[in-house]
A and B are shown apart, each in its own frame.
Chain A
Amino acid sequence: MNCRSEVLEVTVEGRQVDEAMLALLHTILLHRSTGKFHYKKEGTYSIGTVGTQDIDCDFIDFTFVRVTSDELDRVIRKAVGEFKDALSNSGSDGMGQISLEFYQKKKSRWPFSDECIPWEVWSIKVNVVNLANEQERQICREKVGEKLGEKVINIVEVINRHEYLPKMPTQSEVDNVFDTSLKDVQPYLYKITYQITDSLGTSVSTTMRRLIKDTLAL
């Protein structure tokens, strides 16, 4: 199956990394989450309601919408926090990439473990810059806000192509498609990974490693 892959690139200042990532990841997850499924007899199900929330960024002139789910927010924040720490610890020129991958689980027979088959991957490339003075920071605030707006439009454009989405599962299959661990919303199964590019460009090797790993996993 073909996995859809989208790449978004942003250039931000150090303080803005968290919010920029949150904004984009939450925008994607907003579209890739539904309400909780409640299965009833005869194979029918009803769907819960998803609330939304406007979040203003402190370091960027931007407001984004996310699903109202504190649990999901915590998970995403944690992942973004780890990414940011890795970025700052790498001591490199501040380039990295965080990926949000939606996958489906396919049960395999023993002794093989379940396969994770991605059907959509969003990669956000980040380039961190350092700014010298407050004036530049102010300009950066606005510029990054505009850029994020453009990225949101890109995301919406891709999503509205209505390309492949996993079929709605039966009750027994729901955990292969959706993440049912949260109590208020139900996003598609996803995982967040990141990699930091250091100045030597060793990202090539990490990419190779990932390629090999993925091939073997399949």
Chain B
Amino acid sequence: MDNDLSPQDKKDLDKFIKFFALKTVQVIVQARLGEKICTRSSSSPTGSDWFNLAIKDIPEVTHEAKKALAGQLPSIGRSMCVEISLKTSEGDSMELETWCLEMNEKCDKDIKVSYTVYNRLSLLLKSLLAITRVTPAYKLSRKQGHDYVILYRIYFGEVQMAGLGEGFQTVRVGVVGTPIGTITLSCAYRTNLAFMSTRCRDSQFERTAPIMGIIIDHFVERPFGNVGHMHPCNYRAPGEEEGGAYAGVEDSQEVCTTSFSTSPPSQCVLTVSKAHLKTPKPVLMDTLKVPVMGLGFSHQLYSSRLSYQPPTLGAADLCHPATCSAAHPHQMAVPGKEGGVPQVPMQPYHGAQAEHGRRPSCPSSDTAHHIPATPSSSGEDAETCSRSSDLKSASPSDTLETTFTRKVGAFVNKPTTQVTTASLDLPFAAFAPRAYDLEENDPMVHPPDSPATSSPLQGSLHSQGSSETGEQAQEDFVMVDFKPAFSKDDLLPMDLGTFYREFQNPPQLASLTIDVSAQSMAEDLDSLPEKLALYEKNIDEFDAFVETLQ
């Protein structure tokens, strides 16, 4: 098979394929971070940019990819796949896309490896850049952070598309023939987002739930417009400071020989998410531990745009019975924006992710300043911190485990506690931290034993997710009261939102209401003589009035 291929060419080809695979993963993952990517063109070749494209390398992603590949290359029957999924703050997840880099037997012996193959791989990467912005998951990923996050998982081996639901579509990005086979890059994406919409129907929202609506009505009319853009975008690629520098050397036809450095291993990333929906269940913490079968594991993907987090949000149920509406995020977002997770020792993105396994986009520690409320907020956050470190410490010990933790966040209706703080005349008083008695039961602090399972990651991700959230599915989505911030319902019988809605437009003129006028016209005509008689009787008064005006 390799007789026609010189050893140098074979070596080059393997290297090209390997780096192509790594760059493919980078492009896909970066496209789902939720923000716009911009890299600079450089006319002088630095030699370190593979395929002559400026694609940044996020070290964690490279690490994951290398781990998944485990030194192998995509070959026949063994494809490299990147799976993109969405995970809501309640812990439900749904696969959105699977990108596959496959190799088949069809060889193109005549092709020049170092030149044509390289250029075609470069073209394929450009196509990938274009296509990643076109699939439906792109728009979803741009709006992530508030109620859901986008995760990725890299695996090597058989392509699994079962999780994409019925009617998934495939788009082929391109093919490149090489002397050892044909490389194909394609994407299978879900078209059926139905599970989201059924939730909405089951729930008793009094208006189309703006929270879920952000996801569902991506494909239907969106009543509240684009609430996703309010999140700041300060993702800083860690790749610059650390991580792989690929030194390139040009010789006869700009073959890029590289020496690369291994990037530092990353920790398992925790998913710490917030729910904005009221749920009646007092304990809503789920820990979803998914054993990883050595070849891939999910990582949470999001840029700093993440995390609208209400100021005093700890991990758990905040009692506040208020709910979020779409108007809410607008109001709340300002403090929330800096919200992040306040007490995490504020490190830049990569540090945060690598060391603490928290949401990498944890913005700065200014949050604390923006939280006007309660002193116990710091307690909350320390708790959050400890939780994460708990989980984090749990994870390295189970070397191949990833923990998904679902937090119940703000606006969860805790029937037990805290109406007292609501009566305080503090803004965000209603978000005052919950009672501490829950801490003993808090599975985040005392993580439950991980379920032992030998099913592949794919299966466990879904089965666990569905079983655990299954029975809670109905309860999770209960009616959400529309309670805008700063509104107190002790003053007026109606809340601010209703008031606003009612009085937003001036009342209809009586004379313009059609049903009335039809009758009253006749009545008016009849009553005219009486009115005239009345006015004539009072004519003196009117005259006196007119006198006073003059």
Inter-chain contact A56/B36, CB cutoff 8 Å: yes
Nearest CB of A to B135, in Å: 8
Q: A interface, by DSSP: helix, strand, loop or mixed?
A: mixed
Chain A's closest residue to B177 (CB) is A162
A138 to B138, CA, bound (A): 19
Inter-chain contact B124/A160, CB cutoff 8 Å: yes
Inter-chain contact A34/B52, CB cutoff 8 Å: yes
Inter-chain contact B133/A48, CB cutoff 8 Å: no
Residue-wise, chain B 28-42 has the 8 Å CB interface mask toward A (1 for contact) of: 000000001111111
Query: What chain B residues lie within 8 Å of A81 (beta carbons)?
Result: none
Which of B247-255, B343-351, B510-518 binds A? B247-255
Tell me, yes or no, whether A157 is within 8 Å of chain B by CB.
yes
Which of B153-161, B168-176, B442-450 binds A? B168-176
**Chain B residues numbered 35-75 whose CB sits less than 8 Å from any CB in chain A:** 36-47, 49, 52-55
Inter-chain contact A51/B250, CB cutoff 8 Å: no
Nearest CB of B to A87, in Å: 26
Query: What chain B residues lie within 8 Å of A53 (beta carbons)?
Result: 36-39
A49 to B139, CA, bound (A): 28
Inter-chain contact A184/B131, CB cutoff 8 Å: no
Query: What chain B residues lie within 8 Å of A172 (beta carbons)?
Result: none
Nearest CB of B to A123, in Å: 19
Inter-chain contact B130/A38, CB cutoff 8 Å: no
A139 to B251, CA, bound (A): 53
Query: What chain A residues lie within 8 Å of B254 (beta carbons)?
Result: 44-47
A197 to B176, CA, bound (A): 39
Query: What chain B residues lie within 8 Å of A159 (beta carbons)?
Result: 123, 127, 174
From A40, A156, A183, give the contact of B130 (CB < 8 A).
Answer: A156
Chain B's closest residue to A183 (CB) is B43
Query: What chain B residues lie within 8 Å of A8 (beta carbons)?
Result: none
Query: What chain B residues lie within 8 Å of A174 (beta carbons)?
Result: none
Residue-wise, chain B 170-205 has the 8 Å CB interface mask toward A (1 for contact) of: 011111100000000000000000000000000000
Inter-chain contact A149/B134, CB cutoff 8 Å: yes
Inter-chain contact A44/B252, CB cutoff 8 Å: yes
A152 to B174, CA, bound (A): 13
**Chain A residues numbered 118-158 whose CB sits less than 8 Å from any CB in chain B:** 138, 149, 152-153, 155-157
Query: What chain A residues lie within 8 Å of B52 (beta carbons)?
Result: 34-35, 47-50
Query: What chain B residues lie within 8 Å of A183 (beta carbons)?
Result: 43
Nearest CB of B to A19, in Å: 14
Tell me, yes or no, whether B109 is within 8 Å of chain A by CB.
no
With A48-B52, A160-B124 given, is the CB distance from A68 to B39 under 8 Å? yes
Residue tally, chain B, CB below 8 Å to A: 44
Nearest CB of A to B89, in Å: 24
Residue-wise, chain A 28-64 has the 8 Å CB interface mask toward B (1 for contact) of: 0011001110101010111111111111100001011
Size category of the A interface is 35 or more
Tell me, yes or no, whether A80 is within 8 Å of chain B by CB.
no
Query: What chain B residues lie within 8 Å of A30 (beta carbons)?
Result: 126, 129-130
Tell me, yes or no, whether A185 is within 8 Å of chain B by CB.
yes
Most buried by A among B54, B135, B221: B54
Tell me, yes or no, whether A22 is within 8 Å of chain B by CB.
no
Query: What chain B residues lie within 8 Å of A68 (beta carbons)?
Result: 38-41, 54
Nearest CB of B to A118, in Å: 20
Query: What chain A residues lie within 8 Å of B115 (beta carbons)?
Result: 168
Chain B's closest residue to A135 (CB) is B221
A65 to B30, CA, bound (A): 13
**Chain B residues numbered 71-129 whose CB sits less than 8 Å from any CB in chain A:** 115, 120, 123-124, 126-127, 129
Query: What chain B residues lie within 8 Å of A65 (beta carbons)?
Result: 129-130, 133
Residue-wise, chain A 181-197 has the 8 Å CB interface mask toward B (1 for contact) of: 00111000000000000
Most buried by B among A56, A149, A156, A159: A156
Given A35-B45, A44-B254, A48-B42; 14 other pairs, CB 8 A cutoff: A27-B130, A31-B127, A35-B52, A48-B44, A49-B52, A51-B39, A51-B42, A52-B126, A64-B130, A68-B38, A138-B221, A168-B115, A184-B43, A185-B43
A-B contact pairs, 10 of them (CB 8 A): A48-B41, A63-B36, A63-B138, A153-B131, A156-B130, A159-B123, A159-B127, A160-B174, A168-B115, A185-B41
**A-binding residues in B (CB < 8 A):** 36-47, 49, 52-55, 115, 120, 123-124, 126-127, 129-131, 133-135, 138-139, 142, 171-176, 221, 250-254
